Amino acid sequence: MTTEVAITPVTLRGFGVSPGRRVGVVARMPDAPPAPSPEPSAPGTDLEGMATAVDDAAAQVRDSLARAAEAATGEAADILTVTAAMAADPSLADEARRRVLENRSSPARAVWDAAELVAEQLRALGGMFADRATDVQDVRDRIIAELLGLRPPGVPDPGHPFVLVARDLAPADTARLDPGHILAIVTAGGGPTAHTAILARSLGIPCVVAVGGAEVLADGDTVLVDGSTGEVVRHPDADAVARAAAVRSRPTRLERAGSTADGHSVALLANVGDPAGSVAAAEAGAEGIGLFRTEFGFLGRTTPPDIAEQVAAYSRVFAAFPGRRVVIRTLDAGADKPLPFVTADDEPNPALGVRGLRTSWSHPQVLEDQLEAIARAAATSSADVWVMAPMVATADEADSFVERCSAHGLRQAGIMVEVPAAALRAGDLLLNARFASLGTNDLTQYAMAADRELAGLAQLSTPWQPAVLSLVQLACAGGALHGRPVGVCGEAAADPVLAPVLVGLGASSLSMTARALPDVGAVLASVSLDQCRALAGLALAQRTADEARSAVRAGLPVLAELGL
């Protein structure tokens, strides 16, 4: 007689960055190829032929990524464009070719060593340039796979829906995630505002990052992933599986205007990165656009788009929301989005360098042309067009931007609040600026001095930090002094647990990935404005981010019904 041995569930913990609860079978992301042998090529080897093989493999990878970028939209297109540009940079292939010809390295080893040299150079620059070292390594692995005839690194395809488990996801991998096949994502690396988290939220895939012990999860394991609490349960029991399956199917469209249970209006808006994204946001029921990122028209170019090209693009976005609010952000270049026509390539710390509105100090015509294009597109549209500048830190900057907008006939001019200085003195900045929008990703990064891409700092990189919530409260209070609306357009707005806290702190609107709109709307509709304020006070009274999150979750019984 065989006795069946029960398998004890094991709970791993990380940071929930995209809500939802799913049960599925694990499929692990393949590890990157190991370092090729350093042994030199044998005498008589056709070195020129091997050097040509490097060029051909690099070209194949470059073209593959470029095609993927062209086919993608929104955040995915932005990410793939940056990675494709890295693959197109000749410095890596040229260095690898030199190593083949001069050092007799094998093609694969030459690419490995050349990539490490380029990556080290980027790390030495620090800041956001250091983050690009990961992109170099991703391109390296793809070129080596091409040279060796191996399956390139990337998302597995086991032939059935699965839970993706990985050390971390390269930008090109996150951009290719398919919500039709991937039930949930679990990573050992990453942080709450890293690219993996942002893409998972935009696709509606539950996701937990920075999971301690994720290496024990093996192909074929059954796991329960809770993207709200950050729990990953290996071998969940039957009751837990049944509860996850019983959660009602969540709607994909916002069916009513955002408001609290007692009728306090909270505009629920969408973040979009290109014209296609605006159409999808309208279909999802967004009340308007709270953040239209204009970088899509500037990335991957050596010169900025002309006014006519910008007018055409902006007009398409405005047309998707006739009679409704569209908040367009002027070019946010610099840091992780360097552009050759406005940013330098030798800044020691780009995250603290010339970025956002600061690029207009030395390149004013780029901003002037963009404002002119916005004004022309707005003049032929019924959309209620608002314009805001990124990375504003002082009242002088805010006043100057308002004046420049006014010169183009743009009266509804506002600012992004992304640095603590702007939050602390929001009353001064909003004396003349008509509105503010809190970019909580950068606000958290700067307030906590924590790079949002680093898994080791994930516990710091969350807007649940009481210090960040205090800055949100101060910014909203500064706006209230002059009757100026202050919204939130950072990823914090997409967290349905945090949404009522933000409203309680004074946020007048929440802008997020379109897929988050129904959940956020449902949670807000379950609480009154007074309850929102009480939850905000409860969060602020806690000493840690975890305590703040737990206290608010306990005060929102609707979360269990929604499966959040």
| CATH number of the domain that residue 283 is part of | 3.20.20.60
> 54: Cβ–Cβ under 8 A, 6 or more apart, which residues?
93, 96, 97, 100, 107, 110, 111, 143, 147
Burial category of 404 from C-beta neighbours within 10 Å (exposed 0-12, middle 13-18, buried 19 and up):
buried
Same domain, 349 and 497: yes
pLDDT single digits (tens) 277-326: 899 899 999 999 999 999 988 877 788 999 999 999 999 999 999 999 99
Helix (H, G, I), strand (E, B) or coil at 27: strand
Q: Which of 195, 207, 363, 476 is catalytic?
A: 195
Same domain, 223 and 129: no
Q: Are 200 and 163 in contact (CB under 8 A)?
A: no
C-alpha torsion sign, points 33, 37, 42, 45: positive
Tell how strand 509-512 and strand 267-272 pair up.
parallel
Is the residue at 213 inside a domain? yes
Same domain, 158 and 138: no
What is the enclosing helix (H) or strand (E) of 11?
A: strand 10-13
Tell which of 192, 217, 246 closes a domain.
Answer: 246
Rounded Cα distance, 65 and 512, in Å: 27
Query: What's the confidence (pLDDT) of residue 1?
Result: 44
Q: Which of 243, 253, 268 lies closest to 563 in space, CA to CA?
A: 243
Q: Which of 256, 242, 227, 77 lies closest to 164 in space, CA to CA?
A: 227
Q: Which of 207, 405, 476, 489 is catalytic?
A: 489
Q: Which of 144, 441, 124, 123 lies closest to 271 in space, CA to CA?
A: 441
Is the residue at 430 inside a domain? yes
Range of the domain at 224: 10-30+154-246
Q: Are 268 and 254 in contact (CB under 8 A)?
A: yes
Same domain, 288 and 235: no
Is the residue at 4 inside a domain? no
Q: Are 504 and 525 in contact (CB under 8 A)?
A: no
Same domain, 400 and 484: yes
- Cβ count near 255 (within 10 Å): 10
Same domain, 59 and 165: no
Query: What's the confidence (pLDDT) of residue 336?
Result: 66
Rounded Cα distance, 309 and 88, in Å: 25
Is the residue at 74 inside a domain? yes
Rounded Cα distance, 556 and 439, in Å: 25
Residue 195 bears catalytic tag: yes
Is the residue at 259 inside a domain? no
Tell which of 107, 122, 148 closes a domain.
Answer: 148
Number of domains in the chain: 3
Tokens of 469: 């919530």
Same domain, 217 and 275: no
- Domain with residue 58: its CATH number is 1.10.274.10
Same domain, 363 and 471: yes
- Cβ count near 180 (within 10 Å): 7
Q: What angle do CA 509, 548, 480 make, to 5 degrees?
A: 35
Query: What's the confidence (pLDDT) of residue 434?
Result: 98
Same domain, 311 and 364: yes
Is the residue at 24 inside a domain? yes
Tell which of 148, 165, 180 closes a domain.
Answer: 148
What angle separates helix 529-540 from helix 545-554, to the nearest 10 degrees? 150
Q: Which of 191, 186, 231, 229 lies closest to 205 in space, CA to CA?
A: 186
Q: How far is CA 246 from CA 14, 24, 64, in A?
A: 24, 15, 41
Same domain, 66 and 162: no
Is the residue at 390 inside a domain? yes
Residue 235 bears catalytic tag: no
Rounded Cα distance, 21 and 232, in Å: 10
Same domain, 292 and 338: yes
For the entire predicted model, the pTM comes to: 0.75
pLDDT single digits (tens) 76-104: 676 777 777 777 778 888 889 999 999 99
Number of H helices, E strands in the chain: 22, 16
- Give me the residues paired with residue 415 across strands: 389, 436
DSSP string, 236-305: --HHHHHHHHHSPPPPSS--S--B-TT--B-EEEEEESSHHHHHHHHHTT-SSEEEEE-GGGTTT-SS--
Tokens of 400: 């100057």
Q: How far is CA 111 from CA 95, 146, 419, in A?
A: 8, 11, 40
Placement of tokens 């993706």 in the chain: 164
Is the residue at 40 inside a domain? no
Same domain, 461 and 390: yes
Q: Are 525 and 503 in contact (CB under 8 A)?
A: no
Query: What's the confidence (pLDDT) of residue 15?
Result: 87
Q: Which residues of the chain have pLDDT under 50?
A: 1-5
The residue type found at 338 is P
Helix (H, G, I), strand (E, B) or coil at 226: strand
Q: Are 486 and 438 in contact (CB under 8 A)?
A: yes
